[in-house]
Amino acid sequence: MDISITSAVVILLLVMDPVGNIPVFVSLLQQVPVERRNRVIVRECAIAFALLLFFIFFGRWILDLLGLSDTSLNIAGGVILFLIALRLIFRHPEGVFGADDGVEGEPFIVPLAIPSIAGPSAIATIVLLVSRAPERLPEWIIALGVASAITLMLLLAAGRIARLVGRRGLAALDRLMGLVLTAIAVEMLLKGIESFVRGF
């Protein structure tokens, strides 16, 4: 499966799930002064981008250090994406990533930047893209930049979108994204299994 830069942007958007994060951001930022909310969103998105950028450059090195193969990464990434997709389709009361950690006041890094935006699935996806085609590193950086910019714009408009679309509309969009992500996850799993079988 040769992934284009456009496909990479779409995949990253699906795993970063800005639409699904709108209710989370709206809820957690209610106790933050209105004039600071946009700054907090920009800061959390910047932290998430920096973390994912770190894994673009050093993810392959970490995998080599741990002795993990591309096959195991394909399968593990597929499983993680599949579980995230299931939670998008069959919405859990605690959200996609489970219950928050009782954050009070202004949230910092957790749970907005990590794991809401830069969660395990986003990290696994980034590392997988780079490990498959390390020669396309500039493309992956551009794809991450575009996906992060779209995520930022959606989250800055989170309050207005939540009021306009409503909870049912957001839930429907999440389920649609979950269906697309399920297909991507299955494709990754099949690719990993195919590589494993050919290794014998």
Tens digits of per-residue pLDDT, 2-17?
Answer: 788 999 999 999 889 8
Q: What single-letter DSSP state applies at residue 112?
A: I
Q: Which residues is 110 bridged to in the sheet?
A: 108
Cα–Cα distance for residue pair 184/191, rounded to 1 Å = 11
pLDDT of 66 reads 84
Helix count and strand count (H, E) for the chain: 7, 0
Q: Kindly list the distances between the CA atom of residue 22 and the CA atoms of 90, 108, 138, 148, 169, in Å, as whole numbers in the listed order.
A: 17, 17, 29, 15, 12
Cα–Cα distance for residue pair 198/165, rounded to 1 Å = 47
Tokens of 15: 């795993």
pLDDT of 191 reads 80
Q: Which residue has the tokens 């219950």?
A: 99
pLDDT of 70 reads 72
DSSP three-state, residue 119:
coil
pLDDT of 46 reads 97
The low-confidence residues of the chain, meaning pLDDT below 70, are: 1, 91-105, 200
pLDDT of 197 reads 87
DSSP three-state, residue 97:
coil
